[in-house]
Chains A and B, each alone.
Chain A
């Protein structure tokens, strides 16, 4: 057996991806269904010189990774819905202070403590707008372990490139199911290193003065440069200001650095789209059910296709509009009350042709659930 092939849970695939990407600091507080991420990192991270801390709660975990990231570490925390709610305030701080970090949310049923051991995709909008104030953020997801690994590496790369928190939005089914994972060789997936300042010790360093390409080189906090970090609107030294010009400039920068690079971070997969009359749009574990239906229907000659979203935010509106142009109808498959449905309806030219196949009872949406909705759309009854 090749040592690079493992049979693991999705949560462990995330751990493998994070370690591949160079994670060297993790702080967290255990919560189902994300706990295995902590368990495996508790065993693995210290052995390779990284730091693992179980904090007193989710708020402290988020704050700890922000601090560690500032000192130059690649950082991550993992949680589920209730913990993700607690992290929002510090997440906002990380957005404002432009701290690279990765936050995993393995979704379970909500709101509140909800349905802890069962699957849901109810946190899609929370991952976009859980933080108050106008901002942009990147949310990635995956439906199988190979992609969990890939998207985790991608999350670290995006976090470093744009100095931003990145949300990895998995769900209970993907987190817990076991399947094969092939770990790529070192170097097979390129890694983005922390961009550090070239400014020497004793020379003024401006932590929030962008280079010409818009990127902000960092200086490991506590080493050679002294600077301020704040959640308030701040100037290029990092000190608070309410100067309208600076406030406006920073607000624009925070949104534009993600939105104007949206095409770089928008990942997706296409299946049988060329001649598709009906296009399914899905993500996470429900994309497995959708692909199952599409493949089976293709065997019967029915022209179904699938777009699997791997980046949920920024939402790939243009892609959806272009790909769905020729479709007779579009079916969004998700396990919530229609959170991505709304985005798809906004994206396409014919929102009345967009339908929802959902399941919200804590069970994975099945092929039968999707087939029944298809029958209704096609006017065949159920």
Chain B
């Protein structure tokens, strides 16, 4: 597998950091890959624009930060405006159609998906928006198996909420596959 560098960005509270940890943990613990996750700390993580970097690879990962992501996820207009220039040419730029208007010409496969709307229509719980986004990411990239994400979730959240998360993950995957 080629080394894949990802940046998840959005607003503090949307769960982008949690999503980044779940993805990296799924890769490292259940798909036998190497993964490194870092994130911004401080005020940005509590309301301002927030960012998490993930690297997933077969090989050892030394330098942990991401400069040119192969996959960039932006869940707010602010994070899109701030981070769109860093995407690696030809990479995947995933945004949420409700929160982000694509107003730049970017040398990337821009995927604007109705993730938030679908979550609200079908699950009515905004808390799983990030898991829906994760579903779209793994459908678009095939980085880790969906089952690995579910196994990771099972160790982190109460079992009563697992089904809701599975729904959100599958919803995201469907959106990603048809994008």
B37 touches A177 (CB 8 A): yes
> How near does chain A come to B160, taking the closest CB pair, in angstroms?
22
Chain A interface size, as a band, is 20 to 34
For the complex, give the distance between the alpha carbons of A366 and B29 in Å.
27
Can you name the residue of chain A whose Cβ is closest to the Cβ of B21? A178
Can you name the residue of chain B whose Cβ is closest to the Cβ of A363? B65
Q: Is B25 an interface residue (CB 8 A)?
A: yes
B30 touches A1 (CB 8 A): yes
> How near does chain A come to B110, taking the closest CB pair, in angstroms?
27
Q: Is B64 an interface residue (CB 8 A)?
A: yes
For the complex, give the distance between the alpha carbons of A81 and B34 in Å.
31
B62 touches A116 (CB 8 A): no
Q: Is B92 an interface residue (CB 8 A)?
A: no
> How near does chain B come to A171, taking the closest CB pair, in angstroms?
12
| Known interface pairs A291-B62, A295-B62; A176-B39 also in contact (CB < 8 Å) | yes
Can you name the residue of chain A whose Cβ is closest to the Cβ of B42? A117
For the complex, give the distance between the alpha carbons of A180 and B56 in Å.
12
| Known interface pairs A177-B64, A289-B63, A291-B62; A116-B42 also in contact (CB < 8 Å) | yes
B37 touches A178 (CB 8 A): yes
Can you name the residue of chain B whose Cβ is closest to the Cβ of A8? B25
| Known interface pairs A1-B151, A33-B41, A173-B38; A179-B61 also in contact (CB < 8 Å) | yes
Q: Is B161 an interface residue (CB 8 A)?
A: no
Point out the residue from A1, A32, A292 that lies within 8 Å of B62, measured CB to CB.
A292
With a cutoff of 8 Å between Cβ atoms, the chain A residues found around residue B38 in the complex are 173, 176-178
| Known interface pairs A117-B41, A180-B35; A288-B64 also in contact (CB < 8 Å) | yes
Q: Which 7 A-B pairs have the closest CB atoms?
A: A117-B42, A117-B41, A292-B63, A7-B25, A178-B37, A292-B62, A288-B62
Given contacts A172-B41, A176-B38, A180-B34, 13 further A-B contacts (CB under 8 A): A7-B29, A7-B35, A116-B42, A176-B41, A177-B37, A178-B38, A179-B28, A179-B36, A179-B64, A289-B63, A291-B62, A364-B63, A367-B63
